[in-house]
Amino acid sequence: MMGDNRYCSKDSRYWGVVPRANIRGRPLFVYYSYRPSPGGLNDCDGRTSDRPLSFITDIRWGRLGHVIR
């Protein structure tokens, strides 16, 4: 399971693999995907992006709405 790491969230890269028995369902599609900029978001220091509109300008349009099979 991967999170978006917004506001220093933790995901399986931090706390380990989720046991298969704990997974309930399957992913359907990618609803948002962006290309993170190097140095754009600071690591867990509470500061915001140095590019406030990067969540729009760095969208990976080719992945948006991609159906996962």
Query: DSSP assignment, residue 33?
Result: -
Q: Where does the pLDDT of residue 8 fall: very low under 50, low under 70, confident under 90, or very high at 90 and above? A: low
**pLDDT more than 90, % of the chain:** 3
- Delimit the domains of the chain by residue range: 26-69
Q: Where does the pLDDT of residue 51 fall: very low under 50, low under 70, confident under 90, or very high at 90 and above? A: low
Which helix (H) or strand (E) covers residue 63, if one does? none
How far is the C-alpha of 63 from the C-alpha of 50, rounded, in Å? Answer: 24
67 versus 47: the higher-pLDDT residue is: 67
Other C-beta atoms closer than 10 Å to the C-beta of 41 total: 19
Query: What is the structure's pLDDT at 67?
Result: 92
